[in-house]
Chain A
C-alpha cells in the first residue's frame, strides 16, 4: 500500500487539463502499488476547495485544499514549501505533477527540499517492486530513455497529453491546509500576468494546431493561419523559429527543439520546411498535414497528408472547406 500525492494545478480558479491527467496517473500508481490513496493538492484563492468533485471524478480520495487570496497568482516558493510540508507529515511513495511551466518550477524545488529523486516529463510509468520504471523522451524527443527510479518519495512530472484522464469516481474528502509560508512574501514576486490570445486554447491543450513558417512570406499573411485555426474552432496557432526570429510572431508560439513541444490530434504545417529542430517539437502529433510548394520539403516525410502548392492559394480554400465540414456536423 502506498499513497500518492498529486499537485493538481490551476490557472485562476480553473483546474488545468494536465491536473486531471496527473490525478489519473496517481490513481494508477496507487492501485498498482497495492491500493493506496490519492491525495490531490489544489492551491488557489478562496473557493478553490470546490474543485473536489472534478478531482474525485478522476480518482482522488482526498483533496488537500490550500486557500489564500495571494494564491491567485502562482506563488512558487509558498506552494513548493506547502507540498514539501505535507510530504514530510504523510508518507507518500510518489509526488506527481504536470510537466508544465508550474511543474517545471515546483518539481526540482521539491526534489531539493525532500532530497527526493526526480524524473521530469515522463510519458509512461510502471511500478516494479521497490522501483518505478519510467519512460522519458530525451535528446529533443529523438531518443526514448527508460529509467529506474528508487527512493521515497520520488517526484514524477507527466508530459501534458501523454496520459489520458481516466474517470474513476471517488467521493473525495476535503482536507484544508494553510500555506506553509506566506504566499505574499517571496523572493520572486509576480508583478503582472499577461494573458495570451483570448478564446484560443494553449498549444499544450489544443486538439488541433495550425502552425505557420516562412513560406507565408509576410507577417500579415499569418491571418490565413489564424482563419484556418478559427475554422477548426478548437485550434491553437504555432510558428517556426524562422518566423519568431523575424518577429512575425511572439517567441512563445515557437514549436520545436528550443520552443514548445506539442502532441495534438492534428498538426497543420503551413509553409514550413520541416527542419530537424522543428520536427523535434511536433513529430509526436497524431496526424500531420503539410502544405508546401516544394514537393521535396522534408516536412512531407513526416506528414500523413501533403498538398504541394502555394499556401497563399491553398489555405483560404482549405479554410472554407473546413468551415463547411464543421457546419455539416
Chain B
C-alpha cells in the first residue's frame, strides 16, 4: 500500500525514474531489532491516531442509558444501530446531506471547468501578462476568507441570492479557482506542444483541442483536484453559515453542529450524526485514494 510512492510519479512533471523499479535495486539489509522497533513505533502511532475514530464509532452504537450510566468514554454494554435513523431524522440530515451535495458537486465541476480553461489559455498561448494573471489568481486563494465575508453577504443580498445555495456555490468557486488554475497550469505545461500542433494540423480548433486533447491528458491532475476539492467544499462551515440563514438550507456541517446545541448530552445521537457526516468524504477518499494523496502533495515538490 505504498500510496504516496504510486501517486506521486503519476502527478510529477517528468516521467517516473526507471531506476526505482529496476530489478537491480539493492535491497538494504535491516537488522531484525531495528525492524521490530520500527513496527512497534509505527503501530503505536497508528493506534493512538485511530483511537478517536474508533471511539466515536463505538459511541454511535451505544444506547443513551448506557452512556448516561457509564460515561462517554466507557466500553459499550450492548450494541444498537438505532441511533443512526434517529440522528438522521432529528438532525434533518437527509435535507442537509442533499444541500451539501447540491453545493459540492456543481462547485467541483464548475471550478475545474473554469480553472482548466484558464490554465489551458495561460499555458498554451502567449496571453499578455499571463504570469501576472496567474499570480493574481493564486494570491486570491491565499487571502484569509474572513476578509471577504461581510462584503460577500452584501453582494449576495444585492443579487437576491442570500440564504440560497447558489450563493455558496458561486463564492466557493470563485475562492478556489486560483489554486486549481495554478496546479493545472503547471500540469499542462508538461504536456508537449507538439500534441497541440498535431491537433491543429488535423483541423482542431482551440475549443476542440482543449476538450479532446488537453483535458483527457490532464485526467490524473483533474482527479486529484476533484477529490481534494470535494472534501474541502463538503467540509466547509464558515462560508456556509455566513451565506445561509435558515436551517433548511444548511449543509451537513452546520446541521450536525446544531445537533450539538439542541441535544447537548445525547452523545449516542451526536456520534451517529458525526459518523454519517464523515461518510461521503471517506467514500471519496477510498475511491480516489491515490489521486487524493498525490493531490495533497501537489505544489510541495517543485
Q: A and B bound?
A: no
Identify the B interface with A (CB < 8 A). Answer: none
Identify the A interface with B (CB < 8 A). Answer: none
